[in-house]
Amino acid sequence: MSSRRWFVVPVLGAALAVVTACSGQSTPAAGSPSSSSSSSSSRPAPKAVTILGALPGNQVESAVKSAFSGATAVHIKGTLTNSTGTLSLDLQLNKDNTAAGTISEGGASIPLIAVNGKYYVQFTPQMISQSTNASVGEIGSALSNKWVSSDSSLASSMVAGLKPLLSFDSFVSSMFGQSSEVPTLTGTDVVNNLSVYTYESADGSVVYVGKAGPHYLARMTAPASGSGSIDFTGWNQPVAVTPPPASAIYTGPGA
């Protein structure tokens, strides 16, 4: 059984599965073995380099996990594309498990807030027009730009699939919950003013990891069969998240 990429599969797969379900599409999880195994097996092996003091490939995962676990906040932003579609994330995650931001696929954007154990989804006009939920269609414009609690049947199933991406702790767990391929050290770079080592996997995906400890993840790229990248910035810079104002929360039928 081939190993799986800890830094791409859980994040991309979980989010894309939920977003495509929201838009009524049926799409296999991006980064799944069916979409990547054949391409990685035919690629030449990454060109390894030796750098004095660099983390060996077999220590990258544990070092990045330790840095994640010890941080108080991170901002995750970027876009990844493969044969199943395009996924964009723009999320602020705080250690207190508050979060805010958007997840979008194919242009459909889902604004989200997580605070005080509650989750809220803002139903934008674009989301409403693309929804296959009959209740959403019946309510129509009354939902426009209103925030809906995950306690509501209108948002509960959508939020259930996104919760792992909206909690700092569960996001970390989802990234490191599977066995992984040992990446190859391929060089150095600078990402968002952070000096990093680069590590490539057999499928062409690359992670950029801070040289100095704690070894924060700075960027991850899609496999060679796709395109795009996701950046991790704002480490230890929490941003306050508050619930939507009462006037902006939907209280009509189905709430």
User: Nearest to residue 207, comparing CAs of 41, 99, 55, 30?
Assistant: 55
Is 176 part of a structural domain of the chain? yes
* Cα distance between residue 103 and residue 82, in whole Å: 16
CA distance linking residue 37 with residue 5, whole number of Å: 11
Q: How many domains does the chain have?
A: 1
> For the residues 86-115, what does the mean pLDDT come to?
89
Question: Is position 216 within any domain?
Answer: yes
Q: Which residue has the tokens 């209108």?
A: 154
The predicted pLDDT at position 247 comes to 95
* Domain containing residue 18: CATH number: 2.50.20.20
pTM above 0.95, yes or no: no
Could you list the beta-strand ranges (E) of 83-226.
85-94, 99-105, 108-115, 118-123, 146-149, 184-191, 194-200, 206-210, 217-221
Question: What is the model's pLDDT at position 232?
Answer: 95
Mean pLDDT across 132-143: 83
Predicted local confidence at residue 21, as pLDDT: 43
Distance, in Å, from the CA atom of 85 to the CA atom of 118, rounded to the nearest integer, reads: 29
Asked if residue 101 is part of any domain, the answer here is: yes
Query: Range of 189's domain?
Result: 9-32+45-246
Is the residue at 254 inside a domain?
Answer: no
- The answer to whether position 1 is within a domain reads no
4 in any annotated domain: no
In a domain, 61, yes or no: yes
Rounded average pLDDT over 137-156: 88
Q: What integer pLDDT is reported at residue 194 of this predicted model? A: 96
Report if residue 187 sits inside a domain: yes
pLDDT attached to residue 216:
96
